[in-house]
């Protein structure tokens, strides 16, 4: 299951590169086929193999030799790693597809937010449209209706919590962050309601540590905006993968 997830992850990662490039430009992610942004040549099937093609072409377009950013193979490799980690954590259960979709959209959102300071609703809503029915299906097949109810509660609670922060400080917390929190609350709630505050807490801790680090290194001043989406994404991934031992550490035998 882990190997299969890794291979699917590489292919999904390849699609995420298209999403990351086209969604902020409001272009279709389906049509036209991928082409080199420099020379416009349509990319051959043999040059479209995740990870392998970039290495074989040494990071350059076959026709015009323009550099292909290292972000492309990195996104493909990262998606594969996230899918393998999800498979190891969740096992061959019906909720695995939902968490793979969740991780994939967290990765795409993080890269776009880092590059452009936006969290596109054109990723958030499709994610909800896919993971919602997948969780309902998983609940039905594994009789996990309690988990489904907790997912709904978690999504609403996380959305409400960050909405309050957004109302208090609209510049510090954009509405894109609030929507993302809703998705994260939904998925973490499925694992258990305790995972929701854990994920959000980790996001704030990671953002503070990195923010202070950047200020100390004088790379950013207090006034510069640092996108919060990637930290929420990281907090969510850590909560999914290591939430259980973390909660036990914090709550002791009560967990």
Closer CB to Zn ion, residue 64 or residue 167?
64
In the complex, minimum distance from the CB of residue 116 to Zn ion, in angstroms, rounded to a whole number: 23
Q: Looking at beta carbons only, is 61 or 85 nearer to Zn ion? A: 61
Q: Which of residues 168-197 bind Zn ion (CB under 5 A)?
A: none
Residue 41: CB minimum distance to Zn ion, A: 5
Q: How far is the CB of 35 from Zn ion (least distance, A)?
A: 8
**What DSSP string runs through 213-229?**
HHHHTTSS-TTS---SH
- 98 lies in the site for Zn ion, by CB under 5 A: no
Smallest separation, CB 38 to Zn ion (Å): 4
The tally of CA atoms less than 13 A away on the side-chain side of residue 208 is 6
Q: Is 61 in the site for Zn ion (CB under 5 A)?
A: yes
Query: Smallest gap, in angstroms, from Cβ of residue 115 to Zn ion?
Result: 21
Is the distance from CB of 137 to CB of 190 less than 8 angstroms?
Answer: no
Between 60 and 244, name the residue whose CB sits nearer to Zn ion: 60
Q: Is 177 left (phi over 0), alpha (psi -120 to 50) or beta?
A: alpha
Stretch of residues binding Zn ion (CB under 5 A), selected from 57-65, 109-117, 118-126, 204-212: 57-65
Contact of 34 with 45, CB cutoff 8 Å: no
Closest to Zn ion by CB, 39 vs 225, is: 39
Judged by DSSP in three states, 60 sits in strand
Give the residues across from 60 on adjacent strands: 67
Residues 26-55 that bind Zn ion (CB under 5 A): 36, 38-39
d(CA 76, CA 252): 38
Report the distance separating Cα 30 and Cα 21, nearest Å.
Answer: 12
Q: Where are the alpha helices (DSSP H) in the chain?
A: 2-22, 52-56, 71-90, 96-116, 121-142, 145-168, 175-191, 195-216, 229-251
**Region binding Zn ion by CB under 5 A among candidate stretches 59-67, 132-140, 199-207, 211-219:** 59-67
Taking the C-alpha atoms of residue 154 and residue 181, their distance in angstroms, rounded to an integer, is 10
Nearer to Zn ion, 63 or 93 (CB): 63
Cβ 148 to Zn ion shortest distance, Å: 47
Minimum CB distance to Zn ion, residue 49 (Å): 17
Q: Which is nearer to Zn ion, 61 or 232 (CB)?
A: 61
Helix, strand, or coil (residue 67): strand
Q: What x/- string results for residues 62 through 81 when contact with Zn ion is judged by CB under 5 A? A: -xx-x---------------
Q: What are the residues binding Zn ion (CB under 5 A)? A: 36, 38-39, 61, 63-64, 66
């Amino acid at each position: 299951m882990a190997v299969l997830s890794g291979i699917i992850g590489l292919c999904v990662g390849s699609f995420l590169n298209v999403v990351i490039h086209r969604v902020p430009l409001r272009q279709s992610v389906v049509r036209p086929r991928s082409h080199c942004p420099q020379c416009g040549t349509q990319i051959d099937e043999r040059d479209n193999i995740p990870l392998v093609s970039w290495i074989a072409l040494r990071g350059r377009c076959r026709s015009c030799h323009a550099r292909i950013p290292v972000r492309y193979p990195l996104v493909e490799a990262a998606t594969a790693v996230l899918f393998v980690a999800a498979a190891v954590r969740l096992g061959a259960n019906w909720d695995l597809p939902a968490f793979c979709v969740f991780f994939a959209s967290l990765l795409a959102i993080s890269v776009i937010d880092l590059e452009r300071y936006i969290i596109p609703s054109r990723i958030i809503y499709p994610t909800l449209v896919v993971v919602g029915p997948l969780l309902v299906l998983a609940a039905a097949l594994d009789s996990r209706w309690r988990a489904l109810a907790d997912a709904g509660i978690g999504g609403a609670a996380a959305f409400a919590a960050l909405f309050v922060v957004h109302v208090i400080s609209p510049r510090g917390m954009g509405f894109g962050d609030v929507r993302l929190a809703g998705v994260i609350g939904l998925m973490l709630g499925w694992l258990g309601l305790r995972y929701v505050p854990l994920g959000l807490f980790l996001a704030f801790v990671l953002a503070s540590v990195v923010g202070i680090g950047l200020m100390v290194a004088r790379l950013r001043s207090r006034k510069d905006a640092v996108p919060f989406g990637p930290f929420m994404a990281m907090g969510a991934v850590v909560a999914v993968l290591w939430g259980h031992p973390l909660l036990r550490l914090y709550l002791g035998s009560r967990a």
